[in-house]
Amino acid sequence: MNLFAKESEVLAPLATGWFLEHAWLIPVVPAIAFALIILIGKRLPMKGSELGVLSMVASLVLSAGAAYQWIQRVNSAAEEQFVTPVIKSWSWWQSGGLDFGIGQHIDGLSIVVLFVVAFISTLVQIYSLEYLRGDRRYTHFFAALTLFSGGMLAMVLADNMILFLLGWEIMGLCSFLLIGHWWEEDANSRAALKAFFTVRVGDIGLLVGISMLYFSANEWTQENLGVSGFSIRGISAWALSGEPNSTVIMIAAIALFIASIGKSGQFPLHTWLPDAMAGPTPVSSLLHSSTMVVAGVFLVARLYPVFFVGLDILGSGGNLIMIIGGITIVISAALAFVQNDIKRVLAYSTVSQLGYMMLGLGAGAWLPAVFHIFTHAFFKACLFLGAGSISHSASHHSFDMKRDMGGLRKVMPITFATWIISTLALCGVFPFSGFFSKDEIIDNVGNNGYNTFMIIGLLGAFMTAAYMTRATYLTFFGEPRGASAGHATHDAHDAHATHDAHAINDLHGPHESGLLITVPLMILSVLALGSGFLNATPFGESWERMKLWVEPRAIEVVVDAPSGGPGESLIVNLPSAEESHSKSVCGSATPETGVCYAPQLQHAKFKWSKAMISMAIVFLGIAISWIMSLLLFTKRDPRLVGLTQRVKVLGLGHNFLVKKYYLDHLYEKVIVHSVAHPISRAAYWFNQNILDGILHGFAKSTRTISDWVYKNVDQRVVDSTVNNSATFTKSVGTAAQPTQSGKVSQYGALLFSAAAIAALVLVIINT
């Protein structure tokens, strides 16, 4: 489709509406709810949970209204018309002549993520009503969960990088609170701290990147667009204007991508993500599907022009985003094979799927990557909530598939059905949603000339199908084991059970969960099945609604009216990327009177022949994994049982995976040890020799002064004065003692003598 109309075509104004104009309310509502839950939550009938649920329902209604009006806005535009984002901004605070704004930036990308976050958050809150019932910190959980969603919504809505950073950091704080919700167990506290500090390492890159972009772009954005250098729209236009210094924008892009690596759990900072499973399962579901980890991918998608130019996306060879994404896909999928904890399998699956999103963005497949954010949210949330349903009602709060699960398909039919649907979507089986998004990423990577990375994507698809088949078999097939057989366990790994008043009733055994848990599962499974049809490329362009509603059109041109009146928005007729032999008309042919906000990207033409190859690889992974699981876990084939102990090479490889490539050892025992221990030793020396020396010297001086004061002031002056006055008084008393004889005649003589003396004195005075 040609994105540009004729130069003389004047475009009609686009429709807007109340929901688009007031989209800023979407994060404000949960922020207010958080404050109310903290203040009065414990005094409410449902301990504040009702405020959390209602706030997310309100945000969902506002997001749905904004999505509807955005779709109307896009549909009302001409086919080639540039669809202007709905941007509103207010002055927040000023410092040193800089005006920091706060506002909203609503476009197709914002709408998709806002709706997904609000929708998943609402279902997770409802699910948590049952799952966390009776928890000792029930009110605080809903407060943190509500603010967590509010932070993500604020970040997605931000019109500038300062507000973006605020939402980003709110999520980091809330993830710490939620992962460490049951902080009494040391493992939970350590997981929360690990997540917090690992993500903080990446956040340094975000601060550096924002600072570099501001000081590089501010002058250009002020002069050409009248906006601050913090403006997301301004930064995007500046990046594609040809003005940036290639080295500066490359370093800024790398710094920002480091932040994305930390937040989205990309190699090598992915180690915190599986440990985050220490938090309650609803937290795991929300964190892994639509908040926190998606934030890093969203950052790359939102500031895509910066990465497009800075990292030379679609240039010859690969780029940093593709390389990291490709490595992440494979290494995380391999780790999923050696996990016995069902949530850890899903956690490594999330890391792998995030790698696909990054791979797509790095290969120029912007829309498929964003669409995968959309579809992945539904089936991954469903899988995590399904794991929570199993632990809540069937495995006595254990997540160990080998010890406490097996054969659960018969007693948990709803959970089983929703799990299977979501697993097929994750594996990319037609017609489930993952097929339309993940396969589009792989197809576009190959179409853009990156055949090696396309093979990596196909390998990841095979591994995904294999490890999910293993997890499904261990959980729902075979013979029941441990708690799933009705034998409740109370081992140390069941830390969850000590905090949940709803432990499994051993008399009833494993059973299906209640409606508060199963209804969200059913809703999510329907979307896991059907959401892919919003951009179903196999059925033709008329089915590619997400492409129409979400993908930005590249260039807005503003020219002055001949009469000198206000300018009008026009679209120029520029050559396509193929005709100009450039990767983007914005990068090389931006019109002098125009502003480019997004690169023009190509889309691979769907071919069933390619799709069938991908499907064959997936089914091969399912078949091999199913046969291996049957032989190993049910039939206990002696050729497979204990194989890693008998074959040294396999044992070394298995141990290498169990130890998670020794990355935790590298970070904690080498890097942290080498940094923290010298600092601690230096601090100890400073404390002993400087601080203690000062304190000891001060104490010695004080003692010397006090000794002198005691000897010279207290003893010689104060005590001497008191003692002398006592001696004088005693002397006077001794001298006067004879007069106190007790004889009346003597007292009379003394009185007479005194009177005589007084009379004599008076006579002498008056003479």
DSSP 363-411: TT-HHHHHHHHHHHHHHHHHHHHHHHHHHHHTSTT--BHHHH-SSTTTT
CA distance 606 to 586: 26
| φ, ψ of residue 742 in degrees (nearest 5) | 90, 0
Instruction: Provide the pLDDT for residue 703.
Output: 86
Cα 344 from chain centroid? 17
Whether the Cβ atoms of residue 485 and residue 505 lie closer than 8 Å to each other = no
Instruction: Provide the pLDDT for residue 581.
Output: 32
Question: Is 50 exceeded by the pLDDT of residue 559?
Answer: no
Cα 348 from chain centroid? 16
The DSSP symbol for 112 reads: H
Whether the Cβ atoms of residue 389 and residue 518 lie closer than 8 Å to each other = yes
CA distance 719 to 728: 14
Report the pLDDT averaged over residues 350-366. 94
User: How large a percentage of the chain has pLDDT more than 90?
Assistant: 44
Instruction: Provide the pLDDT for residue 558.
Output: 45
Report the pLDDT averaged over residues 491-505. 43
Tens digits of residue pLDDT in 48-66: 899 999 999 999 999 999 9
106-110, 650-654, 740-744: which is most confident = 106-110
Question: Is 80 exceeded by the pLDDT of residue 553?
Answer: no
pLDDT-derived band at 1, boundaries 50, 70, 90? very low
Tens digits of residue pLDDT in 573-584: 333 333 333 344
Question: Is 50 exceeded by the pLDDT of residue 565?
Answer: no
Instruction: Provide the pLDDT for residue 645.
Output: 84
User: How large a percentage of the chain has pLDDT more than 70?
Assistant: 89
Report the pLDDT averaged over residues 154-171. 93
The more confident residue out of 686 and 767 is 686
Report the pLDDT averaged over residues 69-83. 83
| Helix residue spans in 225-341 (DSSP H) | 232-239, 246-263, 272-275, 281-289, 293-302, 304-310, 320-336
Structure tokens at 112: 């998709």
Torsion region of 607: left, alpha or beta (phi above 0 gives left; psi -120 to 50 gives alpha): beta
Question: Is 70 exceeded by the pLDDT of residue 570?
Answer: no
Question: Is 60 exceeded by the pLDDT of residue 557?
Answer: no
Kindly report the average pLDDT of the chain as a whole number: 84
Q: What is the DSSP string of 671-700?
A: IHHHHHHHHHHHHHHIIIIIIHHHHHHHHH
pLDDT-derived band at 589, boundaries 50, 70, 90? very low
Tens digits of residue pLDDT in 401-423: 888 888 888 899 999 999 999 99
Report the pLDDT averaged over residues 261-272. 90
Question: Is 80 exceeded by the pLDDT of residue 348?
Answer: yes
Q: What is the pTM of this model?
A: 0.83
Whether the Cβ atoms of residue 624 and residue 466 lie closer than 8 Å to each other = yes
Tens digits of residue pLDDT in 440-471: 999 999 998 899 999 999 999 999 999 999 99
End-to-end CA distance of the chain: 141
Question: Is 50 exceeded by the pLDDT of residue 191?
Answer: yes
CA distance 467 to 626: 10
Question: Is 50 exceeded by the pLDDT of residue 23?
Answer: yes
Nearest to 161 by CA among 280, 259, 40: 259
Tens digits of residue pLDDT in 292-332: 889 999 999 999 999 999 998 988 778 899 999 999 999 99
Instruction: Provide the pLDDT for residue 708.
Output: 86
Question: Is 60 exceeded by the pLDDT of residue 591?
Answer: no
| Strand 98-106 with 555-559, pairing | unpaired
Cα 641 from chain centroid? 40
Which has the minimum average pLDDT: 317-321, 655-659, 745-749?
745-749
Tens digits of residue pLDDT in 141-160: 999 999 999 999 999 999 99
Question: Is 60 exceeded by the pLDDT of residue 6?
Answer: no
Does the bond joining 431 to the residue before it have cis omega, within 30 degrees of 0?
yes
| Helix residue spans in 503-647 (DSSP H) | 515-530, 545-550, 577-580, 585-588, 608-629, 643-646
Tens digits of residue pLDDT in 462-497: 999 999 999 999 999 988 887 777 765 544 344 444
Instruction: Provide the pLDDT for residue 508.
Output: 64
Instruction: Provide the pLDDT for residue 507.
Output: 43
The more confident residue out of 588 and 428 is 428
Radius of gyration of the CA atoms of the chain, in A: 37
